[in-house]
A and B are shown apart, each in its own frame.
Chain A
């Protein structure tokens, strides 16, 4: 099982890092989250039903850790190389539009962001997301709808999605 877990990390660790990056908005913080999730998965591995159960469990722990960390008021200091501010002049090109969408995604609540990432990046169904988040499919629908609505308002997408 030790080797099996090592193989699982080698094969799927990167995929988990991608999801974690989209949740946290920072690759290093995402890796940290993945390590934490994999550590918990490793220590729990004997109670899981085979290797196939490792990834769903690791993903569930990852999301749970992300939501828990966001509930805390202080998220820790994060040294950055560049000051992350940029001026907007009202005439944004496509790249700036993308940056606006990304900022808007990061400004969503943790639940809304988790739902959107699982829905549109991991391509999970509402039922699967509900299992990961331990909530009802109705709650997933609500989070997704509110998240999209907030994105629409934040970046004023109506004009150019018509």
Chain B
């Protein structure tokens, strides 16, 4: 091997060692979490694509002979707003926190929220609850298929929450529409056939299918409501800032927040995936150093660890935007002329809403994290108040 080859080998190893020192082992946890989310999103996309292709094929198979034989063209009913719990223009239905019994924790997936006892185990699409010795478990991104679970000892009550291609189903105008005969807390749902004593419902407007098996199945299903994240991001009229709130200027933005939240100014930024927002506190951080000293939450979480909190953090330094790269964004919106993006890792987290704001004239984006406790109205009012300074 030549000197140059030896030098290249040394350089590559030295670079990796330096990079690893800056990104310690806990990023493996972030990798697993991000992977969980990405797999569920990819699966959802595939299902949508598959369903769309099937729908097109079926529609073509039906429409072609009809077009050839029928004397007049068949009218297809338009897909309108206001169906399936979709709010009419300008109004946004809120999440209902009173549906969460004491000692239980609300969990969100896509636009839906269910509540379960805080001691239950919560897992993503790659996780398993087989043999878990708690009273209950929740599997997000997984459907209940008894045949696949043969040999698996499920907790006494297990809840499966998965995405459905709801926009497609809502626009189908056929069996899915007619099947919305039930309502759970005002949300139209379709009762799905399920094996054994499982309860299974599809909530098209929330984009989820919920199946619960076990003694607490009915109680869990009865807590179904809209997720606060969905309230905050739903289209509709902006929420007015309640009187008594205070306006703050920080990180290139102006925003309003409840005056009851004490303001904490710091240079630290907690990039821990578990709790970046301090409960009941407005944190304004220059984000020049890491504040993650408590370690990361385990990827196998308990429901109680996912409890949404009230509070807000604004980070305006380089530490806050680490990992904020466009390839990792789930979705971007325009907020008073500012581009605001949600990272994929935080896209479906029910604890807080994370937005990365690209402000004109600022070299680094500003990161805003707003707690998702309550009805979603506070989060939305804060979000609607954010403007570039």
Contacts and interface: CB of A to CB of B under 8 A. Distances in A.
B4 A157 contact: yes
Interface string B6-45: 0111011111100110110101101110110011001100
A2 B32 contact: no
B5 A42 contact: no
Contacts of B14: 98
Given A27-B19, A28-B325, A9 B9 contact: no
Interface in A89-126: 98, 101-102, 105, 116-117, 120-121
B326 interface: yes
Given A14-B25, A35-B38, A121-B13, A161 B31 contact: no
A13 B328 contact: no
A22 B22 CA distance: 15
Contacts of A38: 35
Contacts of A22: 12, 15-16
Contact of A79 (B2, B7, B364): B364
B4 A152 contact: yes
B126 interface: yes
Interface string B264-297: 0000000000000000000000000000000000
Contact of A148 (B8, B15, B326): B8
A119 to B, nearest CB: 8
B134 to A, nearest CB: 18
Interface stretch (B165-173, B246-254, B315-323): B315-323
B327 A76 contact: yes
A104 B15 CA distance: 13
B34 A31 contact: yes
A129 interface: no
B324 interface: yes
A21 interface: yes
A78 B327 CA distance: 9
B128 A3 contact: yes
A125 to B, nearest CB: 14
A32 B325 contact: yes
B4 A21 contact: no
Interface residues of A, number: 44
A79 B365 CA distance: 8
Interface string B213-239: 000000000000000000000000000
A128 interface: no
Q: How large is the interface on B (under 10, 10 to 19, 20 to 34, 35 or more residues)?
A: 35 or more
A35 B323 CA distance: 13
A151 B4 contact: yes
B35 A161 contact: no
A85 interface: no
B27 A31 contact: yes
Given A14-B25, A22-B16, A81-B318, A105 B31 contact: no
B34 A101 contact: no
A13 B32 contact: yes
Contacts of B127: 2, 6
A130 interface: no
Contact of A9 (B31, B43, B321): B31
A158 B7 CA distance: 12
11 contacts: A9-B32, A10-B28, A14-B25, A21-B19, A26-B325, A31-B27, A31-B31, A32-B325, A79-B364, A157-B7, A161-B7
* Those 8 A-B pairs whose CB atoms lie nearest each other, nearest first: A81-B318, A161-B3, A120-B9, A121-B12, A32-B327, A76-B326, A39-B38, A18-B16
Interface of B: 2-5, 7-9, 11-16, 19-20, 22-23, 25, 27-28, 30-32, 34-35, 38-39, 42-43, 46, 126-128, 318, 321-328, 364-365
Interface of A: 2-3, 5-6, 9-10, 13-14, 17-18, 21-22, 26-29, 31-32, 34-36, 38-39, 42-43, 76-79, 81-82, 98, 101-102, 105, 116-117, 120-121, 148, 151-152, 157, 161
